[in-house]
């Protein structure tokens, strides 16, 4: 018995290992900073003021911090051990959420199926392995779904623990509304069972209604009482608005553009197909609760990509149980005996392969995003130096910033000056106005901003950046690969120590030492290419290539800048070297087509760009160049 239990524990640990490694990465979520700022405000005596102390939202907007406890928890971890404590604490929560899928006594077929569910859930959820209060919702959803799928709590102590967990959840993350909903599906499932079986004796027990009512009452145990539910409803409606869904990737529908080229969304589609297959195999003995929960979570996950982890930890375990139950049937046992023996070893082997893939960095190179193992802060994902520049020079507002910069500025500037917008998206109308200012230079000029801070990762605001760079009223005061600061000329008169930068020439020297993949010269040069400032980009990338002369990929980036700058003769040997090293590089074929087009070989250019598009069907640059060249 002890040996069997030890073997089961070892298998579970191995299956959970890829999730643990995927969660142990440098902090790359910009939203972590406003959560930390909120926690700092509460724990250092500021409490929860009624007005937002950080952002320039419309006057009279009430500040309701539905996730204040999440911020407190994150800041407590940060105060305890800085970034490593944050990463380790949040990784433990993610692993615990997936461990819920394997907890308890299960027969061998069910456990094997659950192991595959854990691996699939890991792949569906790994993109959301962020240092955010959202992790509490993932953990609570897994826990609540596990208890509800067993018919609900059978002891008062378990009921009390669930209500206490609901109170914690209601003060930590907006998805707390799922708690009462999950347990409301238990009596609803009984009614569905009654309808499907035509059995009038199948009716929900009275206590099955009491728990959702108790959980709903627990949602009111917050600093805002019933007002929090109204706030959550408004926030949900704001998140579903066209402005937010168009501007924020994680709120866009899961099956949006080019979903066939996205491995995560393909796995989600395969999961839905697997669930449909399981429902067909188990069609004569499906339970109503499982049907309702799987359908609800599938719709939720389809509505926005950020909900995929909730689906993964709740719907996939139920589908795995349906599969294992069908496999245990006498008529299926003989057909699945060999498969079961293979599957007994397959899940741990796949887990071990995935763990090794993550450890050596190949997983992120293959599937993205650009992450690496670590316990620190990802320097290339936060405008840290730009925020430090604003603080050091005490630059005054009014401040305009993009969403990606807002969170770090909230943390760094302590509300002086207030940010224009951040990742909290507290007001949909304000966010709509923000997007208009970002895309309409005339509307921007009509406002009285004196300071602009941009985060340049993952996508720089090209249109407004170029407008400011060409405007006589604005000067670039600072720029690295992650952030940029524009200062109004009136402020420059008051700050003579700030020397404006000229984007028409090489910018002040950026660091070209250290890691070739993240040095400042390369990072800034890549951004300058996207922004269209080819001369400055070429100067930076030449520094980066001089520091890393063996890196053909940096040479290819330099070739892109040289081509844009009209220096194709200098770009040619760099592109030839890239094609020699990697003939499958779509970027190299795009640049080769550019060179051929510059030399007058239009047919050769088109052939090169068509080859690039074949290699990378969603490459926007190849498609744009093909559309521009005549046949």
DSSP string, 595-619: HHHHTT-HHHHHHHHHHHHHHSTT-
Average pLDDT over residues 319-347: 67
| Structure tokens given for 532 | 């269209």
What is the domain count for the chain?
Answer: 2
Q: Write out the residue range of the structural domain in which residue 425 sits.
A: 382-489
Determine the Cα angle at 594 with ends 590 and 596, to 5°. Answer: 115
Average pLDDT over residues 331-358: 73
pLDDT of residue 507: 86
pLDDT greater than 80 at residue 105: no
Question: If residue 430 lies in a helix (H) or strand (E), which one and from where to where?
Answer: helix 428-439
| Structure tokens given for 563 | 């081509």
pLDDT of residue 630: 67
Please list, in sequence order, all residues whose beta carbon lies within 8 angstroms of the beta carbon of residue 530, skipping any fewer than 6 positions away.
460, 462
pLDDT of residue 170: 95
- Are residue 260 and residue 335 in the same domain, yes or no? yes
pLDDT greater than 80 at residue 59: no
- Are residue 361 and residue 406 in the same domain, yes or no? no
CA-based max dimension of the chain: 85
Lowest mean pLDDT among 178-187, 319-328, 616-625: 616-625
What percent of the chain is modeled with pLDDT above 90? 55
pLDDT of residue 230: 77
Whether residue 517 is contained in a domain is answered as: no
pLDDT of 462-513, one tens digit each?
A: 999 999 999 999 999 999 999 999 999 999 988 888 989 988 888 888 877 7
User: By three-state DSSP, how is residue 487 classified?
Assistant: strand
Scored b (16 or more CB within 10 A) or e, 466-478 reads: bbbbeeeebbbbb
- Of residues 359 and 231, which shows the higher confidence score? 359
Whether residue 621 is contained in a domain is answered as: no
578 CB neighbour count, 10 Å cutoff: 23
- Are residue 39 and residue 114 in the same domain, yes or no? yes
H-type helices in 100-133, by residue range? 108-125
* Cα 140 to Cα 96: distance, rounded to the nearest angstrom: 10
Q: Which of 250, 245, 236 shows the shortest CA–CA distance to 432?
A: 245
| Structure tokens given for 590 | 């795009």
- Are residue 9 and residue 98 in the same domain, yes or no? yes
Average pLDDT over residues 15-25: 96
319-322 long-range contacts (CB < 8 A, ≥24 apart) are 319/117, 319/271, 319/274, 319/275, 319/278, 319/294, 320/110, 320/113, 320/114, 320/116, 320/117, 321/110, 321/113, 321/114, 321/149, 321/290, 322/278, 322/279, 322/281, 322/282, 322/286, 322/290
| Structure tokens given for 323 | 């599969």
- Are residue 318 and residue 236 in the same domain, yes or no? yes
| Structure tokens given for 7 | 């073997």
- Are residue 359 and residue 391 in the same domain, yes or no? no
Question: What confidence tier does 240 reach under pLDDT thresholds 50, 70, 90?
Answer: low
Question: What confidence tier does 169 reach under pLDDT thresholds 50, 70, 90?
Answer: very high
| Structure tokens given for 263 | 């491995």
The structure tokens 């000067």 sit at 475
Average pLDDT over residues 25-52: 89
Please list, in sequence order, all residues whose beta carbon lies within 8 angstroms of the beta carbon of residue 437, skipping any fewer than 6 positions away.
400, 443, 444, 447, 464
Whether residue 64 is contained in a domain is answered as: yes
Whether residue 607 is contained in a domain is answered as: no
pLDDT of residue 429: 79
pLDDT of residue 3: 61
- Are residue 168 and residue 245 in the same domain, yes or no? yes
pLDDT of 194-229, one tens digit each?
A: 887 766 666 677 777 889 999 999 999 999 888 877
Domain boundary among 304, 336, 367: 367
Whether residue 191 is contained in a domain is answered as: yes
Domain boundary among 313, 340, 367: 367
CA atoms 167, 169, 171, 177: torsion sign: negative
- Are residue 114 and residue 257 in the same domain, yes or no? yes
Q: Which of 483, 418, 479, 419 shows the shortest CA–CA distance to 455?
A: 483
pLDDT of residue 597: 85
- Are residue 282 and residue 392 in the same domain, yes or no? no
- Are residue 412 and residue 469 in the same domain, yes or no? yes
pLDDT of residue 238: 66
Whether residue 510 is contained in a domain is answered as: no
Domain boundary among 444, 472, 489: 489
pLDDT of residue 117: 95
pLDDT greater than 80 at residue 387: yes
DSSP of 238-287: HHTSHHHHHH-GGGS-TT-TTGGG-HHHHHHHHHHHHHHHHHHHTTTS--
pTM of the model: 0.90
- Are residue 98 and residue 40 in the same domain, yes or no? yes
Whether residue 185 is contained in a domain is answered as: yes
Average pLDDT over the chain reads: 87
Average pLDDT over residues 63-83: 93
pLDDT of 564-596, one tens digit each?
A: 888 988 999 999 999 999 888 888 888 898 888
Lowest mean pLDDT among 259-263, 419-423, 610-614: 259-263
pLDDT of residue 526: 92
* Cα 325 to Cα 109: distance, rounded to the nearest angstrom: 8
Q: Tell me the residue length of the chain.
A: 631
Whether residue 442 is contained in a domain is answered as: yes
- Are residue 250 and residue 346 in the same domain, yes or no? yes
């Amino acid at each position: 018995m002890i040996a069997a239990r030890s073997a089961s524990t070892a298998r579970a640990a191995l299956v959970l290992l890829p999730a643990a490694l995927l969660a142990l990465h440098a902090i790359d979520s910009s939203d972590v900073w406003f959560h930390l700022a909120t926690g700092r405000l509460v724990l250092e005596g500021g409490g929860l003021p009624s007005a937002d102390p950080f952002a320039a939202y419309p006057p009279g907007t009430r500040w309701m911090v539905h996730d204040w406890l999440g911020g407190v928890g994150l800041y407590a971890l940060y105060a305890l051990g800085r970034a490593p404590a944050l990463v380790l604490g949040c990784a433990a929560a993610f692993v615990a959420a997936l461990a819920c899928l394997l907890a308890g006594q299960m027969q061998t077929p069910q456990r094997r199926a659950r192991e595959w569910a854990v691996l699939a859930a890991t792949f569906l959820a790994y993109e959301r392995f962020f240092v955010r209060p959202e992790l509490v919702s993932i953990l609570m959803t897994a826990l609540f779904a596990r208890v509800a799928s067993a018919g609900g709590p059978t002891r008062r102590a378990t009921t009390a623990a669930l209500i206490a967990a609901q109170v914690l959840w209601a003060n930590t993350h907006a998805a707390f509304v799922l708690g009462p909903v999950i347990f409301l599906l238990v009596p609803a499932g009984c009614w569905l069972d009654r309808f499907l079986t035509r059995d009038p004796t199948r009716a929900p027990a009275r206590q099955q209604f009491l728990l959702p009512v108790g959980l709903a009452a627990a949602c009111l145990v917050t600093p805002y009482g019933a007002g929090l539910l109204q706030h959550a409803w408004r926030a949900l409606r704001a998140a579903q608005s066209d402005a937010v869904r168009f501007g924020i990737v994680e709120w866009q529908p899961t099956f949006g553009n080019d979903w066939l080229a996205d491995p995560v969304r393909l796995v989600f589609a395969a999961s839905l197909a697997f669930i449909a297959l399981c429902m067909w195999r188990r069609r004569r003995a499906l339970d109503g609760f499982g049907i309702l929960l799987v359908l609800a979570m599938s719709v939720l996950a389809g509505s926005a990509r950020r909900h995929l982890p909730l689906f993964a930890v709740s719907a996939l375990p139920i589908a795995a149980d349906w599969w294992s139950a069908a496999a245990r049937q006498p008529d299926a046992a003989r057909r699945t005996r060999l498969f079961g023996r293979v599957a007994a070893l397959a899940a741990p082997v796949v887990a071990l392969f995935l763990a090794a893939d993550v450890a050596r960095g190949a997983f992120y190179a293959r599937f993205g995003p650009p992450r690496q193992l670590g316990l620190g802060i990802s320097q290339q994902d936060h405008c840290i130096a730009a925020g430090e520049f604003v603080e050091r020079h005490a630059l005054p507002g009014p401040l305009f910033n993009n969403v990606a910069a807002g969170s770090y500025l909230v943390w760094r500037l302590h509300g002086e000056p207030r940010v224009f917008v951040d990742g909290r998206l507290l007001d949909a109308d304000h966010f709509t106005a923000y997007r208009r200012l970002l895309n309409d230079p005339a509307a921007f000029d009509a406002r009285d901003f004196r300071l602009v801070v941009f985060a340049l990762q993952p996508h720089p605001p090209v249109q407004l950046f170029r407008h400011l760079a060409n405007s006589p009223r604005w000067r670039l005061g600072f720029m690295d690969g992650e952030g940029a600061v524009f200062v109004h000329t009136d402020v420059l008169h008051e700050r003579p120590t700030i020397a404006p930068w000229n984007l028409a020439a090489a910018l002040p020297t950026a660091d070209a030492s250290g890691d070739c993949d993240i040095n400042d010269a390369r990072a800034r040069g890549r951004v300058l290419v996207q922004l269209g400032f080819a001369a400055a980009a070429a100067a930076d990338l030449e520094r980066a290539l001089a520091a890393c002369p063996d890196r053909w990929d940096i040479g290819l980036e330099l070739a892109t800048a040289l081509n844009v700058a009209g220096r194709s003769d200098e770009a040619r040997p760099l592109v030839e070297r890239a094609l020699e090293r990697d003939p499958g590089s779509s970027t190299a074929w795009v640049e080769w087509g550019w060179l051929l087009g510059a030399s007058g070989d239009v047919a050769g250019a088109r052939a090169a760009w068509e080859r690039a598009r074949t290699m990378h069907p969603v490459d926007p640059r190849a498609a744009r160049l093909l559309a521009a060249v005549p046949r």
